[in-house]
Structures are given as structure tokens and as C-alpha cells.
Amino acid sequence: MYKIETLNLTKRFGNFVANDNINIAIKEGEITAIVGENGAGKTTLMNMLYGLSQPTSGEIRIDGKPVNFKSPIDAIEHGIGMVHQHFKLVPSLTVFENIMLGIEMKKKIKIGNRFKFDSFIIDEKKEKKEVQRIIELYKFDLNPDDKVENISIGAKQRIEILKMLYRNVDILIFDEPTAVLTPQEVDEILESFKELKKQGKTIILITHKLREVMEVSDNVVVIKRGKVLGEKRTKDTNSEELAKIMVGREVLINVNKDRAKKEDAPVVYELRNISTESQSGKKCLDDISFEIHEGEILGIAGVEGNGQSELVKVITGLMEATEGEIYLKGKKITNKWPKDIRKSGIGIIPEDRYAQGLCKDMRISENIIAGYHDREEYSKNGFMRFNKIEEKSTDFIYKYDIRVADKDGNISQLSGGNAQKVIIAREFESDPCLLIASQPTRGVDIGSIEFIHNQLLKLRKRNKAVLLISSELSEIMNLSDRIAVMYKGKIIGIVNAEETTASELGLLMAGINKNEDKKHGGI
């Protein structure tokens, strides 16, 4: 008998079939990975298993018995818990308060010898004792009294897991659980999965990181276009085969490129002691300095929320630097407007493609020239040259393999990966001397990731400079010549990509620079 299974599970949104007769069967005490390209239907499937959405047809079974979930409360009552990618914690509360939130233990009031009833007063001592018990049971490194706002991202992940375990769930669904963790925290959470498995828990893991799939899962289910495309025992497959099943062709997972020392090449871009403050007056960038040479990719690594977004805003003109200077080919461009920054020869792939890079309600051709619409090839004497714009759009669609249902339609018709290709095409074809690429592969599938990586390397071969900001450590390590690591708004260290390791970068991302410690007499 299987712990959880789906029989011909189907979900339609109007005429669109998000899940088409999904049949999966998951054994008790196993870790099953669900993988697939963006838009494959993974999230829709998990939402049905957790009661966030109801199937159009088909059946879900727990321990062989049909179930019907109207909400996550129903799913939890049947032993299913879901740990979301974005944590649902209250920063100002302690670890134990977050775990007990919504199911608080109340002190009992006694009247005489016969009447007892629950009061409105929370029994914190009892709650702490109970939380300490489950921390020890599952061997998690947590202090019940720590405030959530003061602990690491990995610790927050473990709190989310304990919230579900305390509610007596036997099946845990994890949605991209390592997306914002340091390498050390990734290793810790994978060890936690193995420990949970030993304790008899059944785990469903949604991830696009095939290394993690191979390390912890027992079984892998590949979903494509709403259908189960294949299922493999993990020991009988490998990353390359899984990538091929997902994309439908051979995929180069690890980028191999010849790194060259670029210290003698001309400096294209330079930041000198850049600092800035948030609207509340808090310093969010503190004395940032680096330079990028011709034909070099400089990677910016770090756990999200350590100043990377503010750095991108400052260097793209969306936020003012309060101190310091920025130079492009020796010319000062500090605090220039975004339009002037583009005109100076800088291409920009923004962090959020829809908020900052595209307009969903505009046509594909209009998005392809956005930011460059006043160039003479696109406009003359105040009039748009629509024939030229259409020609350019058709050319880019073909050259960059942008898959469209209607080339004259709006950008909203495109998948995330193809929408990102519109930005890639637009910025690469502007022939920049420097490309700022912020989270260039966020939310895109493995085939599109390979394409974008190759385009970045081609730009480097053309002797252009690239500033790559990414939360994906493997992406940074594969593509960069040098890597700068940000921690709490500062550059904590810059290393050569060839000479560093994921472990060293992980320590830097956690705020530990052993080289600096040695200088000051530390370890």
C-alpha cells in the first residue's frame, strides 16, 4: 500500500489543462522528488495535495483511502504538511512562539475542587518545554528562546518544518526548500531530510537542483506540460538523463569555460566606496568597491537580502548613492538616470523581469525595443518606424529561439523562460560594453538556463564586461572569473573562481572571512 497516491488527477482552468491525468504513487518513508520545467504543472499538483486547490477530476488517496481536501486544514488533519519557499514566520516572535502560533497552550484556572477551564493566558513555560522536546526528537539545532529576526535563513527553514511536525503530519511537501540557503545550510537541510526519513516521514521535494535530487531522493517523477513524462528510481538514473527527459534533448549542465586572468585588461567599470541609505535612513550599502575588466565576468554572490537588490538599483539609476563614485571607461556616471546609463553603453537584465524589464500589456515587438525606442533605427523625426521594429522583432524571435503563439501578441502570452529571452535579446543586441545581469535565470527552466549561460559566455568572448548578480551559487561558480561576496551591505571578500570552493564561498556568505580573521590574529 502507498502512503499517498493520485489517480487520473486532472486540473483545468477554463480550456487550459494544468494537470492531465496525473498518476503517481509514493511509498511510505521515502523521499520523492518532483522535477520539471517551469509551467510543467508541479505547483498546481502540490496545491491540490495540500488543499489549496481542488481537482477538476480524479482522486487523491492517503493510505489507500480516498480523501477530499477543501483547505490546508483538511490536508493537515490527514497528515500532510507543506513548507513553502517563502517562510510564513513572525520575525518579532521567538522560535517557540512561532511553532505554537495558532495552537497556543492556555493556562488552566481552577475554581474549588470541581471546576477547571482554559484561560486566555498562554502557558509559555509549558510551550517552551514542548518545543524543546520536539527539537531534541528531530535533532534540530534551535534555541526556543531565540527571536526569529535574529536567526539564520537555515534556522528559519527548520522552524517551518517543526511547525508542521508538531501538528503530527506524516507527509511533508517542500517547495524549493534550498532556494535562499548558503551551501552549508543546504547540506544541513538535506541531512534533516535524511533524519526525517529515518523517523518514518514521507517527503515530497519540488526542486530544480538536480544535485539535491540525486543526493537525497529515492524516486524521481518528471512532469512536463501537465503530464507525468517519466519516473525513475534515483539510483538507476543521473542528472544528465533527468535533464534530457525534462527538456527533450541533451543539456549541458556544467559550463566548462577557459578562465583567463584579466588583471592586465583595461578596466571597463569601477565602483569606488559606494554607500547608500534606505528611505528609513538605514545604511544598506556600505563602502562597496570593485572593478570589472574587459572580457571578464565578475559574480556577486550572497544570501538574498544582503544588499544585492540595492546595489543593482544604485548602479542602474533607480536609487541614489549617498557616498562614492561610479566610473564607466574612466568617465564618472554616478547617479545618472536609467536612460542615460543605457545610452552610455550599459545593458541591464533586471532582477524582476515584469516589474522592471517588461510590460505585459505591450506587444512583443514593443518590449523588444523598450529602453532603446529613441534610437534612429526605431524612430525618426518623432515617428516610430514600425516596419523596422517588426523586422527586428521577427529577427530576434528567430535568433534567440523565443517561442511564441502569436508574434504580434502581447508579452503576457509567453512563459517565464521565453519572456526572459526577450530581455536577453534586447540587451545583448544593444551591443553593450558592460552587461549588468541580475538573477538572469530566476524562474526559468533548465533548457532556458543553458541558453542564457551560453549567451553570457558569448558576450564575454566578445571582450565585453559582465556583472552577474545571482542567488544561485552554482551559476556564480560556473560562469564567473572572480567572485565578490556580499554580507550585510558590504563586500566581505573577492576571490578567484578557479581557486575557491563552495565551502569557502559559503563561509563568506555567512559573514566569515578567514583571510581577514588571520590578519587580525583570528583563526
**pLDDT tens-place string over residues 365-416:** 999 888 888 887 888 877 888 888 888 889 988 888 888 878 888 888 887 7
pLDDT at residue number 278 = 82
* β-sheet bridge partners, residue 118: 108
Coil, helix or strand for 337?
A: coil
pLDDT value of position 84: 80
Q: Output the pLDDT for position 62.
A: 94
Q: Over its length of 523 residues, how does the chain's per-residue pLDDT go in tens digits?
A: 799 999 999 999 888 888 999 999 999 999 999 988 766 788 889 999 999 999 999 999 999 999 999 999 999 999 999 888 677 889 899 999 999 988 777 777 766 666 566 667 778 888 899 999 988 888 888 899 999 988 877 788 889 889 888 888 899 998 888 766 777 778 888 888 998 899 899 999 988 778 889 999 999 999 888 899 889 999 999 888 888 877 766 666 666 566 666 678 899 999 999 999 987 788 999 999 999 999 999 999 988 778 898 999 999 999 999 999 999 999 999 999 988 999 999 999 988 888 888 998 899 999 988 888 888 788 887 788 888 888 888 998 888 888 887 888 888 888 777 888 899 889 988 889 999 999 888 767 777 788 889 889 999 999 999 999 988 888 899 899 999 999 989 999 999 988 888 888 888 988 887 666 544 344 3
CB 353 within 8 A of CB 420: yes
Question: pLDDT tens, 228-260?
Answer: 988 999 999 988 888 887 776 666 666 656 666
User: What pLDDT score was predicted for residue 522?
Assistant: 40
pLDDT for position 433: 94
* pTM check: above 0.75: no
Residue 402, SS3 per DSSP: coil
Q: Kind of pairing, strands 297-301 and 482-487?
A: parallel
Whether the Cβ atoms of residue 399 and residue 425 lie closer than 8 Å to each other: yes
What cell does 217 get?
A: 531522493
Instruction: Please report which helix (H) or strand (E) contains residue 61, including its range.
Output: strand 57-62
d(CA 225, CA 48): 17
Residues contacting 47, CB < 8 A, separation 6+? 53
Q: Which three cell numbers stand for residue 69?
A: 481536501
Pairing of strands 323-328, 267-277: antiparallel
Q: Which helix (H) or strand (E) holds 364?
A: helix 364-368
Residue 257's pLDDT is: 61
Judge residue 429's burial from the number of C-beta atoms within 10 Å of its C-beta, 0-12 exposed, 13-18 middle, 19 or more buried. Answer: middle
Question: What is the rounded CA–CA span in Å between residue 397 and residue 79?
Answer: 48
DSSP string, 162-218: HHHHHTT-SEEEEESTTTT--HHHHHHHHHHHHHHHHTT-EEEEE-S-HHHHHHH-S
Phi then psi for 512, rounded to 5 degrees? Answer: -110, 115
Strand 202-206 and strand 219-224: the pairing is: unpaired
Is the CB of residue 444 less than 8 Å from the CB of residue 417? yes
347 Cβ contact partners less than 8 Å away, ≥ 6 residues apart = 427, 428, 430, 432, 434, 435, 436
Q: Any idea what DSSP says for residue 111?
A: E
pLDDT in the model for residue 252: 61
The CA–CA distances, whole Å, from 219 to 33, 43, 232, 263 equal: 6, 18, 6, 47
Asked whether the CA dihedral 127, 133, 137, 140 is positive or negative, the reply is positive
Asked if 72 contacts 30 with a C-beta cutoff of 8 angstroms, the reply is no
Q: What is the Rg, in whole angstroms, of the alpha carbon atoms belonging to the chain?
A: 26
Cell of 287: 563602502
Residues 6+ apart with CB under 8 A from 38: 415, 416, 417, 443, 444, 445, 448
Rounded Cα distance between 122 and 117, Å, is 13
Question: CA-to-CA distance for 109 and 98, rounded, in angstroms?
Answer: 25
**Structural element, H or E, at residue 133:** helix 124-137
Strand partners, 334: none
Residue-wise burial string across 116-135, b where 16 or more C-beta atoms lie within 10 A, e elsewhere: eeeeeeebbeebbebbbeeb
